[in-house]
Structure 1
Amino acid sequence: MKILRTTSLAASLTLMLGGCMVGPDYHRPQVPMPTQYKELPGWTAASPQADNTPKGDWWTAFNDPLLNQLEPMVSVSNQSVLQAYANYKQALAEVEVARASLFPTLGITGSANKQRSASGNLSTSSLSTSSRPAISTSGSLEGSASWAPDLWGKARRTIEENKATAQASQATLANATLTEQIALADAVTELRISDADIDLLQKTVDAYTESLRVVENQGKAGTAAPSDVITARTQLDTAKSSLIQAGIARAQYAHAIAVLVGKNPEDLDIPHSTSVPALPAVPGGVPSTLLERRPDIAVAERDMAAQNAAVGVAIAAYYPDLTLSGADGFSQSPLAGLLHIANHVWSLGADVDETVLDFGARRGQVASAKAAYEAAVANYRGTVLTALEDVENDLSNLRILGQQADVQNAAVSDATQGARIALNEYQAGTVDYTTAATAQATQLSAQQTALSITEQRLLDTVSLIGDLGGGWSADQLDASRKSNTKR
């Protein structure tokens, strides 16, 4: 039938016209990248092939069973991740909608009608009117096709725009997943530190209980003043109060962990742990790898590509639209014999639509699209700069905290020794209990400070892994990106 010939013609014209696309082709703008990070003294310029930054299940480097158990649940149960996944599926559907515009629209219609009519004949002999009803049937069966050839590349630019938007949504999904994974690692770290703080306070309560026993015995023997007993009891009660208060933070971190893995807080029971996560060494890698490893940078880059394609869509509005249409089928009245060759009907047509005068509307749309692209470029470059800043901050924090940890560990050792000596001197009667109590408080403070430094080092390590992109790579984006991106 002629419909098939029309469809073949449409496909042929699509191929012939495939190279005509108005608007700029996409080239990713260059961004100046340093050869190494400023906060890594002694490092020499590396190469991308030597990149050994975290990949895959990066959380296993912390050697924490709870983290290893829960992290895989984020990508399948976290509600923020599921929302980003739904947005990604919607973006993919929009690509299919745009791609469909390259092809003809085919349709088929059929109809059948039966009609009853009346005709009157006047009898001259009787002067009466007689009506004879007549019934007629008619029908049609017709196939139609219409096609708007993409003469200027408007449809293809739209596909390009939607595809880049879908890839941005895919990177947004990866970024949401990484963000929630980092939040989970932070919450688990905070929970473990809370457990360690509880253990420290429990040991302190035990030590203060023993001190109170010594002071009370000396008070009974008349070798200690009543004020010493009150001071020791006050010190013990204060430590017990701090121990109870520590449970508040632990409960909140446990609740946060449950929500991050998509559970109700009451459905997840996390037992107390006596160990903290290991502190892994995370190589910073080459700064230029951030362009391919951070999903937020990929989002900004794909948004930029989408805005570039939108410029081509706006420019295509300057050119006329051509629509080809055709129909082929049968029509007959009466219905009998509808498919007979004598009842064959067909039609071909072409419509051209061109705006002659719009008082600057198209010019404004092109200017708007170009400005949106320039904004996307600025956002991309700003995102890259922020990424560099994030990594530099993480590296400087870890370097400085490492130095602080060494000094603080020495302070803990000195404070522990000082508390032991002061308590021995008190028992020997050479100092009052206030001196011993002050030394013990200093020891607890030094130990808690050391624990806080360990906590911050762990959190900054998690942050560094996240700022380096976690285990993600831009290679995970739709492979079609490579065919649509010129660098």
Structure 2
Amino acid sequence: MRLLVIAAAALMAAGCAVGPDYKAPETPLPVSWKLEAPWRQAAPNDVADKGAWWKRFNDAQLDALQDKALAGSPTLVIANARLAQARANLDASSASRFPQLGLGARASRLKISANRPLTNYATTNASTVQNDFALSLNASYELDLAGRVQRTVEGATASAEQSAADLANTRLVLTADVANNYFNLRSTDIELDVLARSIGLQRRALELVTARHDLGAVSGLDVAQQQALLETTLTQVDVLKKQRAQYEHALATLTGTPAPSFALPVDLREIRPPAVPLGVPSEILQRRPDVASAERSMAAANAQIGVATAAFYPSFIISPNVGVDSRLIESLFNGPSLLWSVGVSATQVLFDGGRVRANVDFAKAGYDATVGNYRRTVLVAMQEVEDGITGLSALDSATTQAQAAVAAARRVLDMATSRYEGGASTYLDVITAQQSLLTVERQAAQLQGQRLLTSVFLVKALGGDWDAPA
């Protein structure tokens, strides 16, 4: 007992919790991103609201879908419920810092056996029937000398903050998924429009070559070739319609709407991606919610080391009690009915076969795992930003080239048609020119969609919007 008192006094004098204090590990970060024109390094305002980033695309339909998703997505409901659980767990852990008070009452009528064991050979037992009324107030308080409660609260606090970051990340992922499916659908609409225009051109060409065949000017091979090209293009329309339906169904699910009752009309308006300012890599640690979640996970795991280490030290609990007890209810609150007790209980593990040490090792290994996950998350974040930067730069150049290719393909088709009508070339040249025009027009439409998708990817990689929309 003397050793326990000495240990308690030493811990009280130290006045600190056992286990390591949390310190976020340093992650080596490059000074700046690899920027190519027209990108310029900027300093985003990290304290501003980074929520409604999709408004920068200036698309009312997208804004309505995002609002609907944020209001009706089951995924957000789950994330909100987990955050509520984490905060409730924090409240429960914080309650351990205060004394626990309890009120007890007892009212009974009992008979004592005359044949019960004797407490004194000189006194005989007698059977009695009597009442018993009792009222008590008890308290219990753990002296947190080893810091177990403090570390538990620290861990619960970090877990609640992690859940809040997870909710923000869920919101970011949800809105990015909505934007991705919406832009894929719009890109498919543009491709379908390209095919529709190509089909109209091919039908007119088929009518022309059929008329020339009826006059005996060309062979049936030209008609068959044009008919085969038309059928191939019609097949591509069916494939794209299937893809569009899948994007539409995905948007229905993301917005919490049954797929059969959800539909979006065709919209061929051009949507331009916004210019995204870039900051230094260290700003990712402040902007991205998944990085914040990984960092808070480390803090929670570090606190668990302290909780496990506290088991090596004695546990002290103060338990004062006060109450009254009487066989007559009218004398329950008289002076002689008063009873009380004050005591301190202490427990110390002497031998457990290595259980406490194993728990500490388990907590340390868990912390090491969260450190590795944090560093991986930061590296992935930097990779995604670099992918977004280089991707948009390449797509901008490719879009310019694709537009030039479309103009050139149209000129080739006009020349091939004129040469064929003048008898200077075969109809195979016209077929080839039609196929080339369809290919480059679809490629241009796909590049437009890819630019939008890459913009969404970069915004997501940067952690959301960078300041309030204009």
TM-score, normalised via structure 2 length: 0.89
Could you say if the C-alpha distance between residues 47 and 276 of structure 1 is closer, same or farther in structure 2, counting changes exceeding 3 Å?
A: closer
| Partner AA of 1:193 in structure 2 | S
Q: Residue 55 of structure 1: CA displacement?
A: 3.0
Q: Hey, what's the Cα distance between the residues in 2 that align with 1:453 and 1:441?
A: 18
Aligned to 2:22: 26
Q: Hey, what's the Cα distance between the residues in 2 that align with 1:318 and 1:48?
A: 48
5 Å matches for 1:28-177? 28-40=24-36, 55-115=50-110, 136-177=130-171
| Partner AA of 2:313 in structure 1 | Y
Residues 191 and 446 in structure 2, CA contact (< 8 A), matched pair in contact too: no
Quote the RMSD (CA, aligned, Å).
2.4
Q: Residue 135 of structure 1: CA displacement?
A: 5.4
1:186 matches 2:180: yes
Could you say if the C-alpha distance between residues 438 and 36 of structure 1 is closer, same or farther in structure 2, counting changes exceeding 3 Å?
A: same
Q: Residue 421 of structure 1: CA displacement?
A: 1.2
Could you say if the C-alpha distance between residues 29 and 314 of structure 1 is closer, same or farther in structure 2, counting changes exceeding 3 Å?
A: same
Q: Hey, what's the Cα distance between the residues in 1 that align with 2:159 and 2:311?
A: 21
Residue 349 (structure 1) aligned to one of 338, 343, 351:
343
| Partner AA of 2:244 in structure 1 | R
Q: Hey, what's the Cα distance between the residues in 2 that align with 1:203 and 1:166?
A: 56
Could you say if the C-alpha distance between residues 139 and 18 of structure 1 is closer, same or farther in structure 2, counting changes exceeding 3 Å?
A: farther
Higher mean C-alpha deviation, range 277-286 or range 247-256: 277-286
Residue 281 (structure 1) aligned to one of 272, 275, 287:
275
Aligned to 2:212: 218
| Partner AA of 2:434 in structure 1 | Q
Residue 227 (structure 2) aligned to one of 230, 233, 236:
233
Residues 154 and 300 in structure 2, CA contact (< 8 A), matched pair in contact too: yes
| Partner AA of 1:26 in structure 2 | Y
1:309 matches 2:303: yes
Residues 106 and 145 in structure 1, CA contact (< 8 A), matched pair in contact too: yes
1:459 matches 2:453: yes
Residue 257 (structure 2) aligned to one of 263, 267, 279:
263
Q: Deviation digits for residues 190-210 of structure 1, max 9, x if unmatched?
A: 100111111111111111111
Secondary structure of 1:148 counterpart: strand
Q: Hey, what's the Cα distance between the residues in 1 that align with 2:454 and 2:196?
A: 27
| Partner AA of 2:29 in structure 1 | M
Q: Deviation digits for residues 6-60 of structure 1, max 9, x if unmatched?
A: xxxxxxxxxx9995322222222222222211244687765566x7999331111
Aligned to 1:123: none
Q: Hey, what's the Cα distance between the residues in 2 that align with 1:43 and 1:200?
A: 31
Aligned to 1:292: 286
Secondary structure of 1:163 counterpart: helix
Q: Hey, what's the Cα distance between the residues in 2 that align with 1:118 and 1:322?
A: 39
Q: Hey, what's the Cα distance between the residues in 1 that align with 2:41 and 2:428?
A: 57
1:415 matches 2:441: no
Residues 420 and 426 in structure 2, CA contact (< 8 A), matched pair in contact too: yes
Q: Hey, what's the Cα distance between the residues in 1 that align with 2:237 and 2:302?
A: 59
| Partner AA of 1:38 in structure 2 | K
Aligned to 2:330: 336
Q: Hey, what's the Cα distance between the residues in 2 that align with 1:206 and 1:170?
A: 54
Higher mean C-alpha deviation, range 221-230 or range 437-446: 221-230
| Partner AA of 1:77 in structure 2 | G
Secondary structure of 1:442 counterpart: helix
Secondary structure of 1:101 counterpart: helix
Q: Deviation digits for residues 280-314 of structure 1, max 9, x if unmatched?
A: 22122221110011111011100111111111112
Secondary structure of 2:313 counterpart: coil
Q: Residue 335 of structure 1: CA displacement?
A: 3.0
Could you say if the C-alpha distance between residues 107 and 55 of structure 1 is closer, same or farther in structure 2, counting changes exceeding 3 Å?
A: closer
Q: Hey, what's the Cα distance between the residues in 2 that align with 1:21 and 1:290?
A: 32
1:395 matches 2:389: yes
Unaligned runs of 5+ in 1: 1-15, 120-132, 474-487
Aligned to 1:125: none
Q: Hey, what's the Cα distance between the residues in 1 that align with 2:238 and 2:71?
A: 36
Secondary structure of 1:151 counterpart: coil
Secondary structure of 1:443 counterpart: helix
Aligned length: 444
1:438 matches 2:432: yes
Residues 196 and 276 in structure 1, CA contact (< 8 A), matched pair in contact too: no
Q: Hey, what's the Cα distance between the residues in 1 that align with 2:447 and 2:107?
A: 85
Percent identity over paired residues: 35
Residues 44 and 277 in structure 2, CA contact (< 8 A), matched pair in contact too: no
Residues 36 and 44 in structure 1, CA contact (< 8 A), matched pair in contact too: no
Residues 174 and 472 in structure 1, CA contact (< 8 A), matched pair in contact too: no
| Partner AA of 2:70 in structure 1 | S
Higher mean C-alpha deviation, range 198-207 or range 17-26: 17-26
Q: Hey, what's the Cα distance between the residues in 1 that align with 2:229 and 2:166?
A: 52
Q: Deviation digits for residues 166-197 of structure 1, max 9, x if unmatched?
A: 11111111111111111111100110011111
TM-score, normalised via structure 1 length: 0.86
Q: Hey, what's the Cα distance between the residues in 1 that align with 2:112 and 2:315?
A: 46
Residues 192 and 277 in structure 1, CA contact (< 8 A), matched pair in contact too: no
Secondary structure of 2:143 counterpart: coil
Aligned to 2:200: 206
Could you say if the C-alpha distance between residues 258 and 47 of structure 1 is closer, same or farther in structure 2, counting changes exceeding 3 Å?
A: closer
Aligned to 1:476: none
| Partner AA of 2:150 in structure 1 | R
Q: Hey, what's the Cα distance between the residues in 2 that align with 1:357 and 1:17?
A: 26
Aligned to 2:359: 365
